[in-house]
Amino acid sequence: MRITRRGAVAGLATAFIARGASAQSNTITLVVPTAPAGTTDFAARLLAEPLSRQLGQPVVVENKAGANGALGTQDVARARPDGTRLLVQYSGYHVGSPAIVPNIGYDVRKDFAPVSLLLDAPQVVFLHPSVPANTVQELVAYTKANPGKMNYASSGTGSLQHLGTELLKLRTGTDMTHVPYRGTGPATQDLISGRVQMMMTTPPPLMPFVREGKLKALAITAGTRHPALPDVPTLAESGLPDLEVVGWFAVFAPAGTPAPVLKRLVEACNAVVDTPDFRRRAEEQGAIIRIMQPAEMQARVLRELDEWTRVVREAKIQPD
């Protein structure tokens, strides 16, 4: 049986690479573990069309939301490892949720093969205009004067929005109430309406509301300011050095994907990410582009999983 299975996998890899037009008729599905809209969906749709041209085969996006990202993530973890079903993943689901829910249904240490980093996305601290604070220092002072009265939104328990804000609370000694939502879209709507007062999240979905004056952008959580957000200071500039929260969005294949197939996908995705058009469109939304090879990407996954596990333990975060 072992020889037969290995032979089948080897045959699969040969068929995928060597059959030419026949192999290239296979549709690649990019599974997005969130509803449409939001940065994960944005990253997948930014990749899909140019990746299709790069590979010479159809690439489609499938939104498979549910269970705080676990439904779509589990789907790809259990998919046939033939390179046709890939995960476009958000770091909050990949290293945040497993830090809170150990038996989440997938193991990022062994269930996935990294393919390509798409976007590094620093978080931005956004406030509703009703909050009388225009800097992080003023926000901290206001929150300390009103303990427990500030509500902050997230796209769900274990999201980087959630964990990043809990880390901010730990570092500043403040008390805010977490209000989890099922995705960035509904969280954004309640932030704009004032039902919640704050959210730390990636810039793309919210920057239009800042330009319209419906939200305030207090600080960026990267080590340096971003060219697309020149007027938004860093947390270090705001008096909180060594506090960085950078989300990422990356492509993963199921573990066991044959090496030739994986190599082809890595080269194709990195080629797309390295194009001027991809870079321009991503940076316009406040994202940062850099090429990261699979081994480096997996090392980052393991390092951040350990880091967020420590935050979860220190903040005493419990699963919903």
pLDDT digits (tens, 9 = 90+) for 158-197: 888 999 999 999 999 999 999 998 778 889 999 999 999 9
Q: Report residue 230 as tokens.
A: 């020149």
Domain identity same for 68 and 10: yes
Domain identity same for 7 and 112: yes
Domain identity same for 16 and 106: yes
Structurally, how many domains does the chain consist of?
2
Domain identity same for 28 and 98: yes
Residue 254 lies inside a defined structural domain of this protein: yes
Domain identity same for 132 and 83: no
The rounded distance, in Å, linking the Cα atoms of 202 and 285 is 9
Residue 225 lies inside a defined structural domain of this protein: no
Burial state string for 277-300 with b = 16 or more CB within 10 A and e = fewer than 16:
ebeeebeebbbbbeebebeebbeb
pLDDT digits (tens, 9 = 90+) for 82-98: 999 999 999 989 999 99
Domain identity same for 129 and 188: yes
State the amino acid at position 229 in one-letter form. Answer: L
Residue 226 lies inside a defined structural domain of this protein: no
Domain identity same for 80 and 48: yes
Domain identity same for 253 and 106: yes
Q: How confident is the model at residue 128 (pLDDT cuts 50, 70, 90)?
A: very high
Q: Answer whether residue 12 shows pLDDT above 70.
A: no
Domain identity same for 115 and 8: yes
H-helix or E-strand containing 162?
helix 160-172
**Residue recorded with tokens 């769900």:** 156
φ/ψ (deg, to 5) at 241: -70, 155
User: What's the CATH code of the domain at 148?
Assistant: 3.40.190.10
Domain identity same for 45 and 106: yes
Residue 235 lies inside a defined structural domain of this protein: no
Domain range for 146 is: 124-220
Task: Out of 19-28, 93-102, 232-241, pick the least confident.
Answer: 19-28
Q: Answer whether residue 19 shows pLDDT above 80.
A: no
Q: What is the pLDDT of residue 225?
A: 86
Residue 236 lies inside a defined structural domain of this protein: no
Classify residue 128 by its DSSP letter.
-
pLDDT digits (tens, 9 = 90+) for 59-90: 999 999 988 889 999 999 999 999 999 999 99
Q: How confident is the model at residue 267 (pLDDT cuts 50, 70, 90)?
A: very high
The rounded distance, in Å, linking the Cα atoms of 163 and 193 is 23
User: What's the CATH code of the domain at 293?
Assistant: 3.40.190.150
Q: Answer whether residue 5 shows pLDDT above 70.
A: no
CA distances from 93 to 28, 34, 160, 181, 201 (A): 22, 10, 8, 14, 14
Domain identity same for 132 and 116: no
Residue 320 lies inside a defined structural domain of this protein: no
Question: 241: which residues sit within 8 A by CB, 6+ positions away?
Answer: 235
Domain identity same for 262 and 308: yes
